Amino acid sequence: MPLQIVRNDITKMAVDTIVNAANPSLLGGGGVDGAIHRAAGPRLLQACKTLGGCHPGDAKITRGYNLPCRYVIHTVGPRWKGGRYGERQTLACCYRTCLALAKQHQCQSIAFPLISTGVYGYPREQALQVAIQVIREFLLEQDMMVYLVVFDRDSYQISEALFSDISQYIDDRYVQEKSDVLSRRVSLAPTPKCGDDGYFHDIAHLWLEPDEPTLEQALAQMEESFSQMLLRKIDEKGMTDAQCYKKANIDRKLFSKIRGNAGYKPSKPTVLAFAIALELSLEETKDMLQKAGFAFSHSSKFDIIIEYFIQKGNYDIFEINQALFAFEESLLGS
Ligand code: APR
């Protein structure tokens, strides 16, 4: 999954390079700047002293010294002054310049903090949108593992309205589906008879034997594998392979494995990531899941959240991953 949102301390990230949200002097400070300097050791400050400072939106690179990463890219984000002084452009420039510098240094992985969202006061939700938009654009053209490191959960919230709408959707289905299934199975079941041994035997199948597919369904399933359906859908949608797996936030290597092996068994998040990238309907998504040996389950909040977005016709995988992250669920993608 080329873009991941993770909750961690950026000084612990074992990637090729981390990004420091610095100030123009590059001589250290508080927040993530202070944490990085403390973890890297005094040689980092020595190196920064030779850089001659940094303008907002620009970026400069040093070694990582005692940090578990090879490099540190120091950038200076905009101070938030209400949004009418080019803050968004400067912030976008920070992410773009850091990614370019990382690529220039053959980095295959990079970790960003949420630049400017601490001392510099940039509203977190807006800053996150800028970060994701710039990183997405970059990943359409380049292969790199990009981490957005969120230090504490409250520094990362999806909008209240969206959060409560999804919560309501989960509460309804999560409870309703379970009782529905149970009541439907019990209502269809023959009246339980007590056996000679005093036990009820003929209701066991309600829980032990899920509905067996019909012979036709079983044969249909065998006709087309998951990867065959995936490739067929890519063609039907008029997409290229790269457009599909990048939109699914899946890396090229995994897609090649799937493409090269008709019997490949992907994970459920991977199947759903492709369903979202292909903008499949709920029925088509269930069909694709079935071909990979999975089914939607309303005893899984993850599944219900995906279903919520498909029902709303919102196929933006990064918005979906933000919602999954906010509900502390795993993210879509490999
Ligand atoms: N790992 C990851 N993220 C962190 C860490 C950490 N160890 N520590 C802080 N953060 C997060 C904060 O929660 C915030 O979301 O980094 C984000 C950026 O906050 P700041 O570090 O305050 O950076 P910024 O808002 O860009 O302000 C820069 O602050 O530290 C000084 O010298 C720096 O003057 C500069 C200013």
Phi and psi of 22, rounded to 5°? -100, -175
Three-state secondary-structure class, residue 239: coil
pLDDT at residue 213 tops 80 = no
**Ligand 1 test: best mutation among 32, 74, 80, most atoms within 8 Å of CB?**
32
Q: pLDDT-based confidence at 218, cuts 50/70/90?
A: low
- Please tell me the residue having the least CA distance from ligand 1 atom 13: 151
pLDDT digits (tens, 9 = 90+) for 278-319: 999 999 999 999 999 999 988 889 999 999 999 999 998 888
Which atom of ligand 1 is nearest the CA belonging to 9? 1
Average pLDDT rounded to a whole number, residues 53-76: 97
pLDDT at residue 108 tops 60 = yes
| CB of 113 closer than 6 angstroms to any ligand 1 atom | yes
CA dist 75 and 91 (Å) reads 10
pLDDT digits (tens, 9 = 90+) for 3-47: 888 888 999 999 999 999 999 999 999 999 999 999 999 999 999
Q: pLDDT-based confidence at 249, cuts 50/70/90?
A: confident
Q: pLDDT-based confidence at 200, cuts 50/70/90?
A: very low
Which atom of ligand 1 is nearest the CA belonging to 35? 7
Ligand 1 midpoint to CA 158 (Å): 20
| CB of 30 closer than 6 angstroms to any ligand 1 atom | yes
CA dist 268 and 281 (Å) reads 17
pLDDT at residue 256 tops 60 = yes
Average pLDDT rounded to a whole number, residues 157-183: 68
Q: Which residues of 236-248 are buried (b: 16+ CB within 10 A; e: fewer)?
A: eeebebeebbbbb
Residue 233 burial (10 A CB sphere; 0-12, 13-18, 19+): buried
| CB of 202 closer than 6 angstroms to any ligand 1 atom | no
| CB of 149 closer than 6 angstroms to any ligand 1 atom | yes
Catalytic residues: 33
pLDDT at residue 221 tops 80 = no
pLDDT digits (tens, 9 = 90+) for 188-198: 444 445 455 54
pLDDT at residue 208 tops 80 = no
| CB of 127 closer than 6 angstroms to any ligand 1 atom | no
Residue 162 is predicted with a pLDDT of 76
- Please tell me the residue having the least CA distance from ligand 1 atom 22: 118
What is the pTM assigned to this prediction? 0.75
Residue 206 is predicted with a pLDDT of 36
- Please tell me the residue having the least CA distance from ligand 1 atom 30: 30
Residue 92 is predicted with a pLDDT of 98
CA dist 106 and 266 (Å) reads 30
pLDDT at residue 166 tops 90 = no
pLDDT digits (tens, 9 = 90+) for 90-107: 999 999 999 999 999 999
Ligand 1 midpoint to CA 265 (Å): 41
| CB of 1 closer than 6 angstroms to any ligand 1 atom | no
- Please tell me the residue having the least CA distance from ligand 1 atom 10: 32
> Who's near 80: CB < 8 A, 6+ residues apart?
87, 116, 120, 121, 122, 123
Locate tokens 């807006």: which residue? Answer: 126
Residue 116 is predicted with a pLDDT of 97
**CA triplet 53, 55, 60: central angle to 5 degrees?**
60
